[in-house]
Structure 1
Amino acid sequence: MHAQSPYDILIVGAGAAGTTLAQALSRGSAARPTGRYRIALLERSLAEPDRIVGELLQPGGREILQRLGMGDCVEGIDAVPVHGYAVVKDGDAVRIPYNHTHEGRSFHHGRFIQNLRSKARTAPGVEIVEATVTDLIECPLSRRVIGVQAVRKGATQGEKEPFYATLVVVADGCFSNFRAQVYRAKPATNTVGHFVGVVLQDAALPIPKHGTVSLIRGHGPVLLYQIAEHDTRMLVDVKAPLPADLKSHILTEIVPHLPAGLQQPARRAVETDRLRRMPNTVLAPATQGGRATKEGVVLVGDAWNMRHPLTGGGMTVAFHDAELLARLLVALPDLGDWDAVGAVLHRWHWQRKPLAATVNILSVALYDLFGADDEYLAVLRDGCFAYFERGGTCVSEPVGLLSATRPDTFLLFYHFFCVAFYSIYVMFTRPRTVRVPGEKAKTLPPPGVEEYPLLCLKGVRVFWTACVVFGPLLWAEYRWW
């Protein structure tokens, strides 16, 4: 057995959250006599990850990386600048540009993670260990978590080795093996569908260097963004139950409704590439510390809080959480004082809200609208598209929320319900498109006065639907327990 290795902090998982937290904590603590933490970053495999999400970094996330001294991690990986979004509906595209001073990046996820790991490896006091964590170690008397059991890569006969630390941080991602063990009451996750991903070769987006959301009636949104010079990621939202033949479903139901310039590359990719699925799971952030979780252990990243990946805000939230948590922890003279750590976790939970809650609520609310599956959500989806067409603050302020450069939950509330009221106005005043199966779509003139009574009733239902979408999301973020 290897010698026991005492650390100040163990971080389980060297993904986006774990590496940035290690980097942030490595800057040291003025409250500690030695100044530096001894940090072990444990990761099952240090090979380049291969995932279909985590490939778009919003401008707000880039700013946090720069503050942490990790801004150069987006360099040298064939990353592509992102200047905003384009939303496409029925062949029309509306541009949603970032503020001219802001710029995101899109890239192959694995290359970016490898750069983050390389940066963390050179941070003072950080040791990266390739090992599979199998168990949390608890003190038999206090039930406090005091370390983990792990199997190092290459260990003979799968021999487990104990790693001990004052504080254990679990950052093992959306499929966390330890989430249920950390909480005294298991948190509820909600899988709202799946993204099916392929890579398109030499595809031309409707607006270059803009993430593209294609709205297809009767189906979930399709997200496209360039991740390298010749590679464009396409993510097709497929709701449960999944079709028996995914490839046929995408080729017949999705590809013909994409922008014309994307149909041939998409068809070629679906026919030749391996279709890969990723569940889109939502997990609201529950409080930690006190009696909510076991002593000595903290959850971060997707192990703790997940949102829909439609808006590409997940890594930004993870980086912001890591930066803020490290700033609060390094002010503590003793990480073993769980009352003090619990108080820090409480402050962290609420201080992260302006950015995290805004990103979380926006992602699920937009997905509900863009993936409209009833007539009232469809009114809101069409109204949202028309709202963006207005330009001005109807674009500049929402894109500040989307890019995580203007975190403001009240501003999100304001624009969401502006969209709701504008959707009702559009329903009364604009021509309507009627689709009959097997026939060509027909455009009808705006409703006449004689239709207003029924439209008023429908407008009430539309507003109520908006409340049903937004209200529970707001409650999940701001409830006090």
Structure 2
Amino acid sequence: MSTEPGSGPDSEPGSGPGSGPHTWDAIVCGAGVAGLATARALDLAGLRVLLLEKRRVPAPVAKGEVLQPSSVRILRDWGVLPMLLRRGAVPLGQLMIRDAHGRRLMLFDYRTIPGDDRQLYSLDYPEILAALRESLGEGVESWPGALVEEPIRDGGRVSGVRVSWRGRTRELAAPLVVAADGRSSRLRRSAGIETTSTEYPHRLLSFDIDVEGVPAAAPEVTTYLTGQGLRLAYPLPGRRMRLYAQVSPDALRGAGREHLERWCRELLDGTPALRPLEERLEGSLGSRQLLNLWRFTASVLAVPGLALVGEAAHCVHPMAAQGMNTAIADAEALARCLADRGFADRGFAARPSATAADRALEAYQAERSAWVRHMDRMSHDATRMITQLSRPGQAIGRRVLRRMDGNPRLRYQATYNMAGLGIRPFTALDRLHQLGLPDPRARRVPDWA
């Protein structure tokens, strides 16, 4: 991957709207997982890509650390999986929901799903970014420290971006612009694409815990359903654990060390299954991060000349581990739509056209919109069930989970959806089975499987 503009910062005579041949086939704005995955997918399609990055160094945030089987398959196809494994990606066979004492409520057993990739992997977010960046070929040019100010237009079509880089403002043109610039996307807002954001009424407090010497936990993502709300834990490389704890927005505002230690003890009293971590949890207080949580889906995922991917297009609660995985699927789908509609030309004999790009963007919108809405509903329904704090709500949630766990058909369908393999929503009848209505099909694999 090239990290400097090939023609030099002063050699851009053809990069204004409507002027001459384009230097790039696509400009990807943002270098989180969504942007890097898109750059990788477009690079593999033979396109010349400019990757614009606001940050020079990725922020060390606790996010996007669990890869679902659908993403593992894509990353394997892209040649990225070996790079993740070299960085210590941890294989996990299941996602388990347990009560506060560690007793099973429901198992999502990934070993039962079809295909070759039947497990999750966990890895630090910066390491996932590094693996994706390592995979980029010479067709991708990267400008670190470039601030995208707004899209530029040729008539009613997005035809490039205005960017501030190395002390200068430049207008860069390409037949395709990809907004991968996150939840507060400037490109999305400037393009007039609407969203209705909903903030969840709680926060997640994240800890990076050294568990060296602590008896090894099961190789799983574990969600604890407690009277205090969600507790989510999974292993990371180097005998470490990520722990998320649900808190109210003001619970720890201005808290000193003594307050934090008292809160840790209360957390462990409310989640006895985590008591072996007592000393390690208090020792990890310096690693804590408080995460605000949002939910939205953009009104459209593409307009002429512009595609939205990742959190520029959709944002979900992290409980179901779908955000990063949906972004990777966005990238794969966009590249496939571009290739199918004649935009990608591996031979470089004839450069892609705006007309072909817009045909592909229409296909991308048609393909992804239903999937994104499905993931939004699935993540939100799961979040409401697990983060409910009222006693009646928690009792209903536990009942639903136990009923689903005892129904192999529903459990298989839930695992299939969670793995990102397809859209198989529960019917109204399925919902009644979850509440206790006898299901004569319970022991059968679903017909569609």
Shorter-chain TM-score: what band?
0.7 to 0.9
Hey, what does 1:70 align to over in structure 2? 80
Instruction: Tell whether the 8 Å contact from 1:194 to 1:237 is kept in structure 2 after alignment.
Output: yes
**Candidates 135, 150, 170, aligned match of 1:161:** 170
Hey, what does 1:385 align to over in structure 2? 401
**Candidates 41, 49, 52, aligned match of 1:39:** 49
CA distance in 1, matches of 2:191, 2:396: 39
The answer to whether 1:196 aligns with 2:219 is no
Hey, what does 1:455 align to over in structure 2? none
Instruction: Tell whether the 8 Å contact from 2:96 to 2:108 is kept in structure 1 after alignment.
Output: yes
Paired residues, number: 400
Q: Which range moves more in the overlay, 350-359 or 370-379?
A: 350-359
Instruction: Tell whether the 8 Å contact from 1:256 to 1:263 is kept in structure 2 after alignment.
Output: no
CA distance in 2, matches of 1:328, 1:205: 48
CA distance in 2, matches of 1:214, 1:385: 12
Residue aligned with 2:103, SS: strand
Stretches of structure 2 that go unaligned for 5 or more consecutive residues are 1-8, 16-22, 344-351, 439-449
Hey, what does 2:146 align to over in structure 1? 132
CA distance in 2, matches of 1:250, 1:402: 32
Instruction: Tell whether the 8 Å contact from 1:282 to 1:305 is kept in structure 2 after alignment.
Output: yes
Hey, what does 1:409 align to over in structure 2? 424
**Candidates 260, 278, 286, aligned match of 2:299:** 286
Q: How much has 1:21 moved relative to structure 2?
A: 1.5
CA distance in 2, matches of 1:352, 1:12: 20
CA distance in 2, matches of 1:368, 1:233: 22
**Closer/same/farther in 2, CA of residues 416 and 325 from structure 1, 3 Å limit:** farther
The answer to whether 1:305 aligns with 2:314 is yes
The answer to whether 1:119 aligns with 2:135 is yes
CA distance in 2, matches of 1:187, 1:150: 24
**Closer/same/farther in 2, CA of residues 166 and 309 from structure 1, 3 Å limit:** same
**Candidates 386, 389, 392, aligned match of 1:373:** 389
User: What does 1:182-221 align with in structure 2 at a 5 Å threshold?
Assistant: 182-184=191-193, 186-192=194-200, 193-202=202-211, 207-217=217-227, 219-221=228-230
Instruction: Tell whether the 8 Å contact from 1:145 to 1:296 is kept in structure 2 after alignment.
Output: yes
Q: How much has 1:242 moved relative to structure 2?
A: 4.7
**Closer/same/farther in 2, CA of residues 269 and 150 from structure 1, 3 Å limit:** farther
Q: What is the identity percentage for the equivalent residue pairs of Structure 1 and Structure 2?
A: 19
Hey, what does 1:13 align to over in structure 2? 30
What one-letter code is carried by the residue in structure 2 that aligns with 1:273?
G
CA distance in 2, matches of 1:264, 1:146: 55
CA distance in 1, matches of 2:215, 2:163: 45
Instruction: Tell whether the 8 Å contact from 1:86 to 1:93 is kept in structure 2 after alignment.
Output: no
Q: How much has 1:353 moved relative to structure 2?
A: 5.4
**Closer/same/farther in 2, CA of residues 262 and 284 from structure 1, 3 Å limit:** farther
The answer to whether 1:3 aligns with 2:20 is no
**Closer/same/farther in 2, CA of residues 262 and 362 from structure 1, 3 Å limit:** farther
CA distance in 2, matches of 1:201, 1:360: 33
Residue aligned with 1:378, SS: helix
Q: How much has 1:380 moved relative to structure 2?
A: 2.5
**Closer/same/farther in 2, CA of residues 343 and 145 from structure 1, 3 Å limit:** closer
Q: How much has 1:84 moved relative to structure 2?
A: 0.6
Instruction: Tell whether the 8 Å contact from 2:208 to 2:288 is kept in structure 1 after alignment.
Output: no
**Candidates 23, 31, 34, aligned match of 2:40:** 23
1:164-223 CA-partner distances (Å, limit 9, x unpaired): 212111101224233211225x31111213221111111758851101111111x33111
**Candidates 268, 284, 303, aligned match of 1:255:** 268
**Candidates 97, 118, 121, aligned match of 1:105:** 121
Q: Which range moves more in the overlay, 297-306 or 347-356?
A: 347-356
CA distance in 2, matches of 1:376, 1:50: 38
Hey, what does 1:444 align to over in structure 2? none
CA distance in 1, matches of 2:274, 2:35: 41
| TM-score normalised per structure 1 | 0.75
CA distance in 2, matches of 1:46, 1:377: 45
The answer to whether 1:144 aligns with 2:161 is no
| TM-score normalised per structure 2 | 0.80
1:302-341 CA-partner distances (Å, limit 9, x unpaired): 1111111111122221111111111111233465445x54
Instruction: Tell whether the 8 Å contact from 2:54 to 2:148 is kept in structure 1 after alignment.
Output: no
1:263-285 CA-partner distances (Å, limit 9, x unpaired): 41453245x42321222211124
**Closer/same/farther in 2, CA of residues 166 and 245 from structure 1, 3 Å limit:** same
Hey, what does 1:325 align to over in structure 2? 334
What one-letter code is carried by the residue in structure 2 that aligns with 1:171?
A
**Candidates 231, 236, 239, aligned match of 1:222:** 231
**Closer/same/farther in 2, CA of residues 21 and 382 from structure 1, 3 Å limit:** same
**Closer/same/farther in 2, CA of residues 413 and 49 from structure 1, 3 Å limit:** farther
Instruction: Tell whether the 8 Å contact from 1:16 to 1:315 is kept in structure 2 after alignment.
Output: yes
